[in-house]
Amino acid sequence: MNYYLDVLKKYADFSGRARRQEYWMYTLFQILAIIVVAVLDAVIGTSPWLYALYALGTFLPSLAVAVRRLHDLGKSGWWLLISLVPFVGGIWLLVLLASAGQQQPNQYGPDPKVLAA
């Protein structure tokens, strides 16, 4: 849960690096929260308003953590646009997001694993 809250605290911080664990734990909690909000939305009968409000509110933090994750690989945040390439773009982005980051400092900052230890 701390990973989710840490990403929300860095709401629109596109600088720096994010570890794999930070990105994937945030993504896990994001998916669970979306499911809960969608069910709650259906039960209350406000569909799709709560879901849309939640998705809009977490769009920027989700984008920022993905950019920081790409920075950990030494890549620019513009690599997110690779997902627009039909068929292979999304798969390639998934491979990038699941890859190990650079262990040495890069142009985006020091290795976050070293800072966490």
Whether pLDDT at 117 is above 70? no
For residue 90, the enclosing domain spans: 2-116
Calculate mean pLDDT across residues 57-77. Answer: 96
Mean pLDDT, the chain, as a whole number? 93
**Nearest residue to 62 (alpha-carbon basis) of 115, 111, 2, 13:** 13
CB 84 within 8 A of CB 94: no
The CA-CA-CA angle for residues 111, 92, 57, to 5°, reads: 70
Count the domains in the chain: 1
pLDDT band with cut points at 50, 70 and 90 for residue 113: confident
Give the Cα separation of 48 and 61 in Å (integer): 21
Q: What are phi and psi of 109, to 5 degrees?
A: 135, -175
